[in-house]
Amino acid sequence: MSFLRNFLFRARRRSGSILRDLVPYNEHYRPTHIHVNSQAWADRPESDATYSEIYSGYVSELQVPKEFIVLRPSYYDPMLEQEQVPPVFVLTLPGGRINVDNGNSVAIIAADNGLVGDASLQFSASNYSLAPAATNPVLRQRYFQPPVRVQGTVCSLLSGGGAAMGNCYHWLLDSLPRLHLVQEAGLWNSIDCFLIYSRKHRFAVESLLELGIRDEQILDVQQHSHLQAERLVVTSSVRGGGHHAPLWVSDFMKQAYMPAAAKLTRRYSPFVYISRRDAAFRRVRNEADVEALLAPYGFETYALSELSLLEKAALFAGARVVIGPVGAGLVNILFCAPGTSLIEFLPRNLVVGDYLDLTTRLHMAHYPLISCRDDASGRKASADRQDDLTVDLQALGTALHQALRQPQMQPA
């Protein structure tokens, strides 16, 4: 049934996309040109836009083990060992619009009907990487609902891409940290509303309420897929359009949530096993055996859907070793202290370097355990991304002994 529901959802989304490109309606809302560079646009007197650079560009380095190159999914770009990270900025657009009719893009449109290229987001359908602004679907869209007009200043927290629309990984890593940039730009107190993907995402609403944002200030795309604000505040991509995460993301998350998390009375084991028993896929088939192996070392099992944001922050902040299958919930390693070890279970069909990158930035030890192919995988049409896995217990034991011997690491 879940496969059928997913198929019907994709079919409806695909048909809606086709109709948007074919049926003419309010075509004057389609951008007529592209502002390639936000700073250059803000420097033009007629724009009335303001641009604040928060962090300078730099070259990011990452050591990528061979298996992450050889075994990566064919539809993913290789994890780069060197990545040029562009400057990180905040842009205010009087009369700016935001259009998110297409699930794989975010279109930021200035008052002169120009697409703001380096503030918008569009992804390649073939490899999930950022595509040039000229490929943004809004430029070929023909059907537009009139924008919902919102008084005051609206801050967009949208991070783009289909996965970002309902995934706590992208929310904690790519969306929520934009608030830090807004703070650094001195605009926090001027924001009247914050735009997110869906108010049904408890983790998103909860995280904003914890920061003192009121419920009535939270708008979502479900009611505002095309929005025009009196003033629209947007930021550049947190990861600069690539895969390397900046260290300031973790610093912000800890500063924002750890003071409240530290006041919780519940105490957690420093040896943490994250179960996906609460998930529909990518579960551990031999989980009972895994838990039996880990129990003598003091490991306790946690299903993250059962914990609040602050509880997850406290759990990961106090962890010495974290073990679990790849999934969105592991993004909570953002709260881990330097020196924490992550043992990550990876299905053979989904060898991705997301947490390899994060553990590097956070000065954590990373032990990837890549499962072998098995017959159960071949029976699933979506085995690449929704594959359950079987853990090699001998390999787990070896990785665990290495993690327990891991000396405390210090930031470089």
Q: What is the pLDDT of residues 121-162, one digit of tens each?
A: 998 776 667 889 999 999 999 999 999 999 999 999 999 877
Within a domain: 248: no
- 27 and 69 housed in the same domain: yes
Backbone angles phi, psi at 13, to 5 degrees: -65, -40
Say which DSSP state 403 is in. Answer: H
Domain that holds residue 203: 2-243
pLDDT, residue 5, reads 43
Residue spans of the chain under pLDDT 70: 1-17, 126-128, 163, 374-384, 407-412
pTM: 0.91
Say yes or no: 390 and 292 in one domain.
yes
Q: What is the DSSP string of 333-377?
A: GGGPPTT-EEEEEE-TT----HHHHHHHHTT-EEEEEEPPP-HHH
In this structure, the answer to whether residues 269 and 333 fall within a common structural domain is yes
- CATH number of the domain bearing residue 372: 3.40.50
The answer to whether residue 252 is domain-embedded is no
pLDDT of the residue at 124:
78
pLDDT value of residue 3: 43
- Give the Cβ contact number of residue 333 at 10 Å: 20
In angstroms, rounded to a whole number, what is the distance separating the alpha carbons of residues 100 and 224? 9
Indicate whether 79 and 138 sit together in one domain: yes
Same domain, 166 and 57: yes
Query: Which of 243, 272, 293 is where one domain is finished?
Result: 243
- The sign of the dihedral angle between the CA atoms of 111, 115, 117, 119 is positive
Residue 336 lies in a domain: yes
Q: For tokens 């959802």, what's the residue?
A: 9
- C-alpha distances (whole Å) from 161 to each of 84, 109, 174 are 21, 18, 11
- pLDDT tens, residue by residue, 75-115: 788 888 999 999 999 999 999 999 998 878 999 999 999 99
pLDDT attached to residue 7: 44
Q: Is residue 251 part of a domain?
A: no
Residues 219 and 306 in one domain: no
- Clarify whether residues 297 and 211 are in a common domain: no
Q: Which of 243, 269, 289 is the last residue of a domain?
A: 243
198 assigned to some structural domain: yes
Contact in structure between 286 and 395 (CB atoms under 8 Å): no
Q: Which amino acid is at 335?
A: F
Structurally, how many domains does the chain consist of?
2
Using the 3D structure, point to which of 189, 214, 243 is the last residue of a domain.
Answer: 243
Q: Establish if 24 belongs to a structural domain.
A: yes
Are 199 and 299 in the same domain?
Answer: no
Q: Are residues 60 and 153 in the same domain?
A: yes
214, 251, 301, 362, 391 from 290: Cα distances, Å: 43, 33, 10, 26, 7
Tokens of 255: 């500063």
Residues 216 and 268 in one domain: no
Instruction: Mark whether 196 and 308 lie in a shared domain.
Output: no
Beta bridge partners of 114: 33
Q: What is the pLDDT of residue 76?
A: 80
217 lies in the same domain as 77: yes
Burial readout 125-150 (b: 16 or more C-beta within 10 A, e: otherwise): eeeeebbebeebbbbebebbeebeeb
In a domain, 172, yes or no: yes
For residue 8, the model assigns a pLDDT of: 39
- Amino acid present at 332: N
> Does some domain include residue 103?
yes
